[in-house]
């Protein structure tokens, strides 16, 4: 059963990566202790192959409906092709954000959650429209995102801290 | 009651794009597609395929879980979109 062993190994590595990311994110929280409300955590895991298939089937429509221009720009290689790994990480981050925000059936367009990486590759979330409004409604002042890549899986952890003052 | 033609076309799209472990013909119109194994990412592919099959475009206000939760819900959304687009 080499495929099962491989999958189990990937899951173990993913669990370790997620645990490490969560600890790192909690450690970077700048909110003063006295203003810290509860943490809300969302995580999502996606097979990169799913994104690769979507890109192969209908690249432009898929990309334009889900990702912002800025995200597509960051996910293009020097030859102009879209990197399915990078896109899968961003899709996982959007889903992890929805989970951290405890979205049930609210309408949150994918474009209202954008993942940006700085020059050092550190990711952050840019919220606009419905996603920004929901963050305000839930009282989330601090957001941290981590992008993870393990084998054929892309994952993301989002930590949202509500502020009490 | 869904039209057989519309229901069959939605099932064809689900079979091709929802990545379920079961054939869509075994699902009832009310079966929870997410409960049956459709992931959020697969629902994007289902949405794009429905747009192509029915010549509609799902607006932002319809981009929520309940719209794609069952064959019945999808059919209702498509009916609403086609009614908006139909000539008066």
Range of the domain at A136: 2-163
Contact between A95 and B40 using a beta-carbon 8 Å cutoff: yes
Residues 6+ away with beta carbon under 8 Å from B84: none
pLDDT for A94 equals 97
Contact between B39 and A107 using a beta-carbon 8 Å cutoff: no
Predicted TM-score (pTM) of the model is 0.88
Question: Among all residues of chain B, which has the CA nearest to that of A47?
Answer: B41
pLDDT tens digits for range A55-114: 999 889 999 999 999 999 999 988 889 999 999 999 999 999 999 999 989 999 999 999
Nearest to A66 among B44, B60, B65 (CB): B44
CA distance B53 to chain A (A): 14
A160 alpha-carbon distance from chain centroid = 12
Q: How many CB atoms lie within 10 A of CB B76?
A: 13
CATH of the domain at A14: 3.90.470.20
> Residue A154's closest CA among A16, A6, A45?
A45
What ipTM was reported for this prediction? 0.87
Q: Count the residues in chain A.
A: 165
CA distance B8 to chain A (A): 22
Domain count, chain A: 1
pLDDT tens digits for range B32-59: 999 999 999 999 999 999 999 999 999 9
CB contacts of B46 in chain A (<8 Å) are: none
B4-85: CATH topology: 1.10.1200
pLDDT for B88 equals 57
């Amino acid at each position: 059963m080499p495929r099962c062993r491989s999958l189990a190994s990937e899951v173990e590595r993913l669990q370790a990566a997620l645990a490490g990311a969560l600890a790192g994110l909690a450690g970077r929280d700048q909110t003063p202790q006295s203003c810290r409300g509860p943490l809300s955590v969302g995580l999502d895991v996606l097979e990169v192959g799913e994104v690769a298939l979507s890109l192969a089937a209908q690249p432009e429509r898929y990309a334009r409906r889900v990702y912002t221009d800025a995200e597509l720009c960051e996910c293009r290689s020097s030859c102009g092709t879209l990197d399915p790994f990078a896109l899968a990480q961003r899709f996982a981050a959007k889903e992890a954000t929805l989970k951290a925000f405890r979205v049930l059936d609210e309408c949150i367009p994918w474009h209202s959650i954008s993942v940006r990486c700085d020059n050092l590759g550190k990711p952050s979330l840019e919220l606009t429209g419905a996603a920004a409004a929901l963050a305000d409604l839930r009282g989330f002042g601090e957001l941290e995102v981590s992008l993870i890549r393990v084998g054929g899986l892309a994952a993301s952890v989002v930590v949202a801290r509500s502020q009490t003052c | 009651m869904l039209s057989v033609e519309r229901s069959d076309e939605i099932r064809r799209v689900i079979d091709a794009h929802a990545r379920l472990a079961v054939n869509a013909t075994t699902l009832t119109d009310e079966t929870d597609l997410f409960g049956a194994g459709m992931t959020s990412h697969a629902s994007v592919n289902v949405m794009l395929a429905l747009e192509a099959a029915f010549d509609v475009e799902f607006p932002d206000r319809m981009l929520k879980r309940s719209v794609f939760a069952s064959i019945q819900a999808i059919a209702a959304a498509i009916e609403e979109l086609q009614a908006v687009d139909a000539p008066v």
